[in-house]
Chains A and B, each alone.
Chain A
């Protein structure tokens, strides 16, 4: 099974900050990685697929990069609506999610 890890587990930031979250896979997954945003009591929302492709309707301040085993999600300028938990997911074989990164107010 492919295991996913994320760092940090919690990130304290302010509006306007540039934020980077890292996701690592236990074995190579090419670019078969997605990022989701989840707010309390809500379903996850797809932000990025295929490591760097922006889902339709998602603001351009979100971007993804990486391939193989190491990936990053970057929020270029954190907005009030962005305080949430972010999960990565590999969908190479079969589907495994990372443990999540909570972005909270500093």
Chain B
């Protein structure tokens, strides 16, 4: 069955760029009509949608993060990636990748990765 797995550094210095990759297995990113997204959750807090991408490269971003976020896709590796620039301690969170459940980004997230903790600290 479809599985998602996040990977990337667990520690990022303030003002630097956070980079994470989500590897999709059990199915092809480019042979489906789904959007793929990133969501984060600061320790002990709620969930925040960061942005989503289609295999063509079409993206939608949370307006509150848009100036610092870039999401890209590599169909040859069946991966999509997140870059968040100029990070601060407020960006410390568990970062999840997930699949939107239907056509288009205006859908719930039905399959999630296990999440990866990223700490911003010098």
Contacts and interface: CB of A to CB of B under 8 A. Distances in A.
Nearest to B107: A91
Contacts of A49: 101, 107-108, 110
A91 B114 contact: no
A71 interface: no
Contacts of A16: none
Contacts of B60: 94
B106 A94 contact: yes
A60 B49 CA distance: 28
A98 B62 CA distance: 15
Contacts of B114: 42-43
A94 B62 contact: yes
Contacts of A36: 109
B115 A98 contact: no
A1 B49 CA distance: 13
Contacts, number: 59
Contacts of A46: 101, 108-110
A52 interface: no
Nearest to A55: B110
A34 B114 CA distance: 19
B57 to A, nearest CB: 18
Contacts of B112: 43-45
Interface in B42-65: 46-49, 52, 60, 62-64
Contacts of A93: 106
Given A49-B101, A91-B106, A94-B105, A43 B47 contact: no
A99 interface: yes
Interface of B: 37, 46-49, 52, 60, 62-64, 96, 98, 101, 105-110, 112-115
15 contacts: A36-B109, A43-B96, A44-B47, A45-B112, A46-B101, A46-B108, A46-B110, A49-B107, A94-B60, A94-B62, A94-B106, A95-B49, A95-B52, A97-B46, A97-B49
